[in-house]
């Protein structure tokens, strides 16, 4: 593809050239490629069909995770999270050593490869929250717990300009990638002042299904606020609000 330069930017199609706007700016590309019917039936494109099948599976799996976590993701994701997550889920699928190529699945892959995935590449949890914390997934009890040790906010949390308060969240989700269903729960701290006072230890618990037979994911996030005339306003700063997968438990 080529990048459009100059004062006038085009959208649409002229001859065999398509002009369009993307996240990377105004681009142009030529028409071409192999007919869909040939890709679907020609033995020469067997590898292409296999790759396409697994890529589609990765896309659905990534979307399911994003939908399951949408209440926490609304203020803590970047504009490329969809493609980044799809790429990582595809890596999970490719780690499946049970099924043949083209038939590999997410449950039979290595889900641990998604651990430490950051939903906002501009605001990473590891670069914002320096208080000691531990995540615990109890499959038998159906609980997902985040325990955060005592800390001093201004020392242990990196916050954007204008911050007066913050909130820490803990989420748990069990996902059935085959049935495309999920169970989600979350727990959040109170809105706490970002100052030099000591924050007492926090314990946040998300409740899922006891004795679940599905993969369980734990996420921890942080959101920032500014207090104005007694009202709390979320700082929707894409460089700071964070959400990351901190634990995965597979049956």
- Residue 49, pLDDT > 60, answer yes
Number of neighbouring beta carbons within 10 Å of residue 204: 21
**Residues 117-137: what's their mean pLDDT?**
95
pLDDT band with cut points at 50, 70 and 90 for residue 54: confident
Q: Is residue 193 within 8 Å of 153, Cβ to Cβ?
A: yes
User: Is pTM beyond 0.85 here?
Assistant: no
**Residues 240-250: what's their mean pLDDT?**
95
Q: How far apart are CA 224 and CA 191, in angstroms?
A: 9
Residue 3 pLDDT: 65
Q: How far apart are CA 175 and CA 86, in angstroms?
A: 16
Residue 23 pLDDT: 67
Across the chain, mean pLDDT equals 87
Q: What is the DSSP string of 217-249?
A: EEEEEEEEEEEETTEEEE---TTT-EEEEEEEE
Closest to 24 (Cα-Cα) out of 85, 83, 70: 83
- Higher-confidence residue of 240 and 97: namely 97
CATH 1.10.12 fits 125-249, yes or no: no
Q: What is the DSSP letter of 178?
A: T
pLDDT in tens, 148-169: 999 999 999 999 989 999 999 9
Q: Where in the chain is the domain with CATH 2.60.40?
A: 125-249
- Residue 9, pLDDT > 90, answer no
**Residues 138-147: what's their mean pLDDT?**
98
- Residue 124, pLDDT > 90, answer yes
- Residue 146, pLDDT > 80, answer yes
């Amino acid at each position: 593809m080529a990048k459009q330069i100059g004062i006038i930017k085009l959208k649409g199609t002229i001859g065999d050239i398509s002009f369009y706007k993307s996240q990377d700016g105004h681009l142009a590309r030529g028409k071409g490629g192999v007919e869909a019917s040939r890709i679907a039936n020609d033995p020469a494109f067997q590898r292409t069909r296999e790759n396409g099948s697994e890529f589609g599976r990765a896309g659905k799996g990534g979307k399911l995770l994003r939908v399951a976590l949408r209440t926490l993701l609304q203020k803590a994701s970047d504009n490329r999270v969809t493609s980044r997550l799809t790429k990582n889920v595809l890596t999970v699928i490719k780690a499946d050593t049970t099924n043949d190529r083209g038939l590999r699945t997410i449950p039979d892959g290595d889900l641990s490869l998604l651990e430490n995935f950051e939903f906002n590449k501009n605001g990473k949890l590891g670069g914002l929250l320096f208080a000691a914390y531990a995540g615990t997934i109890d499959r038998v009890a159906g609980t997902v717990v985040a325990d955060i040790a005592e800390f001093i906010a201004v020392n242990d949390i990196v916050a954007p300009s204008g911050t007066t308060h913050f909130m820490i969240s803990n989420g748990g989700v069990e996902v059935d990638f085959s049935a495309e269903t999920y169970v989600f729960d979350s727990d959040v701290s109170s809105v706490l002042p970002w100052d030099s006072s000591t924050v007492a230890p926090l314990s946040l618990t998300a409740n899922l299904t006891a004795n679940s037979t599905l993969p369980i994911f734990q996420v921890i996030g942080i959101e920032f606020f500014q207090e104005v005339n007694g009202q709390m306003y979320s700082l929707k700063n894409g460089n700071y609000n964070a959400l990351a997968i901190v634990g995965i438990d597979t049956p």
